[in-house]
Structure 1
Amino acid sequence: MQIFLRRYVLELRNRFTIAHDSRTHQNTMILALSDGETVGYGEATENPYYGVTFEKLEQALASLQPLLSSYRFSTPQQLWADTNPYLQDLPFAQCALDEAAWDYYGRKTGKPVYEILGLNPAHAPVSNYTIGIDTVEIMVAKMQAQPWPIYKIKLGTAHDLEIVRELRRHTDARFRVDANCGWTAEQTIRYSEALEKLGVEFIEQPLKADDWEGMKEVFAHSRLPVIADESCITASDVARCKGYFHGINIKLTKCGGPTAALRMIAQAREWHMKVMMGCMTESSVGISAIAHLAPLLDYVDMDGALLIKNDLAEGAQATPHGVVFANRNGTGVQMHDGFPNTD
């Protein structure tokens, strides 16, 4: 087995702003896993918030080459277990490799990943479409430019309720709000009453990731369900969220890929918690991996490829009517530039 890495720069359609970040471009890494005949693809974005750079990803994955050079692939789960000792401190790298392993496995066995997992693709929920923080006029314009049945609205400003009220004037779509750790417990509880009346379905990560005392108050008194994001990174965090959140939002890059996400989903179900899966601003390579797990989810946020101008690949797509899967095996990814050219 051999891995190939390439860095790409994704150009966003609009400046994307959340409570702790604002950008017009996103650096990402595509990983190709090959046995010389079959290739699988995975993705991991650079992320300043978590200190993830292409150089760190490249260094971590380079350490695997002695293992992979003579590796006999059996299943993605086994590859995850065999490589995790090398990658456990950098789950973004583990994610790229694991996504590629599932894609490779599906291509090798002649099946799409959802079929390998015994899932019905028709059961995938409709993805939300994200509206980043901006002036309210621009947020309305973004919403009008992309008619959608569910919007996730990024908040964490001094005028959050005014923003939601104004957006509500222009659509009857379902709303979800994400404060990205930008509120206090008192704000969240107070806002929840108004947001419920404005047709908001749930609140994602209102408090700082480690504010467990505050979340205990929010959990007890919020009029809306609360979903953990930054407070629930890996499988070990799921049990801790019980009694503090009504559900969890899994990010493949943060937890270490589909193999780890499947464990998190099973644990959340054991605790009777709702399960969402979110994305980064990433190409159809990463989005396609999310899509094949979507039938297991209550909610999905897989709009990353819709937010960029220069998608790197064809694959599964989020549409206003549901998820459209590519008619190909694995995760269905097909790179536009043919990477890697190993001739």
Structure 2
Amino acid sequence: MTRTRLTAEATTFALAQPFAIARGTREAIELVTVSIEREGVTGWGEGAPSARYGQDARTVLAAIEAVRPRVESGIDRAQLLAAMPPGSARNAIDCALWDLEAKLAGQPEGPLATPLPTVLPSAVTVGIAGPAAMAARAREVAAQGSAHAVLKVKLDARDIAARLRAVREAAPEARIIVDANESWDRRTLEAALPVLVETDVRLLEQPLPAGEDALLAGLSSPVPLACDESAHVAADVARLAPYYDYVTIKLDKSGGLTAALELADAAQAAGMGLMTGCMLCSSLSVAAAWPIAARSSFIDLDGPLWLARDRAGGAVLGADGLHAPAGLNWAGSRYGSPASDTRGGQP
């Protein structure tokens, strides 16, 4: 019988600059890397633990260790969905299995079989700060992205108008997404709508806390709304579709590419649009999310851009958008021009 070996480890990645959102500020992150080796071939996956969901590197490693016997006995991705709940631990294993399967087969199958776009128009985050500092960050990003710039503006319930107007003045041509990270209530949202329209915001993510989505009933928003923290798996769509126009898909929420694809299919079947997002992460996470991003109207995969040092061969932001992390060779790197070697190497 062919032996399968799973390895998992946590690594601390420093950020190039502090990352501030409504829930707090971070200067470093811990990522969990999973490798699954079989027949001399290794598949790689990454989980980005989130305190918002009660996770840290220790709990994610423990969850992975608990299913190690089943993974090493040959569990497949469908069985993994039943064996583990959604979250970073399952994400790391699921994505490693996708990578391993593609490499063993010699070419990707299913949603990875068709060459994916080499460049996608990812948003770059403008973290919470004073209006002047946010304007400076917006100006910096817009200069990098030229006419293709997309800004994801993080806001809490304070100084919404001043911050947004400062960002718009600094980047008059940019597409703007606003992410409130659950920090508003219905009254704050209604009061903010005029300035969202004034500053031409294209999408508003998760204004209200998860679990309070029904408070959006009867709201006529001129700005499309996306559910993020409220949406994890396909079963959530029926509950959320009456209140939101888009669903934000993150592999760490869904628990891997397998469940994320199911969520994408369910959302589109319900008439919802797609946004692909990520946690603060390395380009290994971005490589696995790229197939969902290729289907999405809005994309936010700038997690690796916040790292002081990404994995070698990772994603790069250019004037034309975010360039895929083809150098990582994840699942054969089906980004227009597959890499020549699909059998080895650590991301």
- TM-score normalized with structure 1 length: 0.88
2:117 partner SS: helix
Pick one of 134, 138, 141 that aligns with 1:143: 138
1:30 partner SS: strand
1:224 partner SS: coil
Shift of 1:191: 1.3
Shift of 1:63: 2.2
Question: Map of 1:303-342 to 2, 5 A cutoff?
Answer: 303-325=302-324, 326=326, 328=329, 330=331, 332=333, 339=346
Shift of 1:331: 5.8
Question: Does residue 134 in structure 1 map to residue 129 in structure 2?
Answer: yes
Question: Does residue 189 in structure 1 map to residue 190 in structure 2?
Answer: yes
Report the equivalent of 1:102: 98
- Conserved? CA contact 1:288–1:331, under 8 Å: no
Pick one of 39, 42, 46 that aligns with 1:43: 46
Distance 1:134 1:329, change over 3 A: closer
CA deviation map 1:283-315 (0-9, x unaligned): 011011111332221211100001111113424
2:243 partner SS: coil
**Structure 2: any 5+ residue segments left out of the alignment?**
334-338
1:6 partner SS: strand
Task: Quote the Cα distance in structure 2 between the aligned partners of 1:319 and 1:269.
Answer: 30
2:294 partner SS: helix
Moved more, 55-64 or 315-324: 315-324
- Conserved? CA contact 2:10–2:30, under 8 Å: yes
Task: Quote the Cα distance in structure 2 between the aligned partners of 1:320 and 1:211.
Answer: 39
Q: In the alignment, residue 272 of structure 2 is paired with which amino acid?
A: M
Question: Map of 1:190-209 to 2, 5 A cutoff?
Answer: 190-209=191-210
Report the equivalent of 2:227: 228
- Aligned identity (percent) is 28
Task: Quote the Cα distance in structure 1 between the aligned partners of 2:8 and 2:308.
Answer: 22
Task: Quote the Cα distance in structure 2 between the aligned partners of 1:306 and 1:112.
Answer: 27
Report the equivalent of 1:20: 23
Task: Quote the Cα distance in structure 2 between the aligned partners of 1:116 and 1:229.
Answer: 23
CA deviation map 1:260-302 (0-9, x unaligned): 0111111011111011110000001101111133222121110
Task: Quote the Cα distance in structure 1 between the aligned partners of 2:230 and 2:88.
Answer: 17
Q: In the alignment, residue 151 of structure 2 is paired with which amino acid?
A: Y
Distance 1:240 1:281, change over 3 A: same
- Conserved? CA contact 1:229–1:249, under 8 Å: yes
CA deviation map 1:7-38 (0-9, x unaligned): 11111121111111211111111111111511
Q: In the alignment, residue 79 of structure 2 is paired with which amino acid?
A: D
- TM-score normalized with structure 2 length: 0.87
Moved more, 266-275 or 57-66: 57-66
- Conserved? CA contact 2:22–2:181, under 8 Å: yes
- Conserved? CA contact 2:119–2:320, under 8 Å: no
Question: Does residue 62 in structure 1 map to residue 57 in structure 2?
Answer: no
Task: Quote the Cα distance in structure 2 between the aligned partners of 1:307 and 1:331.
Answer: 25
Distance 1:122 1:96, change over 3 A: same
Distance 1:65 1:208, change over 3 A: closer
Report the equivalent of 2:336: none
**Structure 1: any 5+ residue segments left out of the alignment?**
74-78
Task: Quote the Cα distance in structure 1 between the aligned partners of 2:320 and 2:276.
Answer: 18
- Conserved? CA contact 1:60–1:86, under 8 Å: no
Shift of 1:80: 2.1
2:331 partner SS: coil
1:15 partner SS: strand
Task: Quote the Cα distance in structure 1 between the aligned partners of 2:277 and 2:332.
Answer: 17
Shift of 1:145: 2.9
Distance 1:35 1:117, change over 3 A: same
- Conserved? CA contact 1:189–1:221, under 8 Å: no
Q: In the alignment, residue 204 of structure 1 is paired with which amino acid?
A: E
Distance 1:104 1:63, change over 3 A: same
Task: Quote the Cα distance in structure 2 between the aligned partners of 1:110 and 1:135.
Answer: 51
1:5 partner SS: strand
Report the equivalent of 1:241: 240
**C-alpha RMSD of matched pairs (Å):** 2.3
Distance 1:92 1:210, change over 3 A: same
Task: Quote the Cα distance in structure 2 between the aligned partners of 1:164 and 1:315.
Answer: 31
Q: In the alignment, residue 159 of structure 1 is paired with which amino acid?
A: D
- Conserved? CA contact 2:15–2:28, under 8 Å: yes
Shift of 1:144: 2.8
Moved more, 313-322 or 140-149: 313-322
Question: Does residue 32 in structure 1 map to residue 28 in structure 2?
Answer: no
Task: Quote the Cα distance in structure 1 between the aligned partners of 2:123 and 2:332.
Answer: 21
